[in-house]
Amino acid sequence: MRLARERGIAVEYRIAGAADYGEGLIETLFSIHDHGLQDTVELLGPVSQSDVRELLGWADLLLHGAVSEGFCNAALEAQAMAVPVVGTEAIAENVIDGETGLIAPTRDAVAVADHLERLASRPNLRRRLGAGGRRRTVEQFRLEDQIERFSAWYRELIATGDESSELRTLRVQLRRDQRRLEELVVERTRLGRDIERRESATAMKELVDEFVPDGERVLVVSRGDASLLDVGRPTGHFPQTSSGEYLGHHPASSREAIEQLEQLRAEGASFVVFPRTALWWLEHYRGLRDHLERSSTLLVLDDAAGAVFHLAQVDPGAAREEVA
pLDDT value, residue 269: 94
SS3 state at 287? helix
E strands, 121-187, where?
A: none
pLDDT value, residue 171: 76
pLDDT value, residue 298: 94
Which CATH fold would you assign to the domain 48-145?
A: Rossmann fold (3.40.50)
pLDDT value, residue 142: 86
The dihedrals phi and psi of 310, each to the nearest 5 degrees, come to -90, 125
Q: How far apart are CA 76 and CA 79, in angstroms?
A: 5
For residue 23, give the DSSP letter: H
| H or E stretch covering 64 | strand 62-64
Q: Write out pLDDT tens, residues 258-300.
A: 999 999 999 999 999 999 989 999 999 999 999 999 999 999 9
Give CA 191 to chain center in angstroms: 19
Residues of the chain with pLDDT under 50: 314-324
- Return all residues near 229 (Cβ < 8 A) that are at least 6 apart: 220, 222, 235, 236, 237
For β-strands 306-310 and 271-275, DSSP reports them as antiparallel
pTM of the model: 0.50
pLDDT value, residue 177: 85
C-beta neighbour count of 238 within 10 angstroms: 23
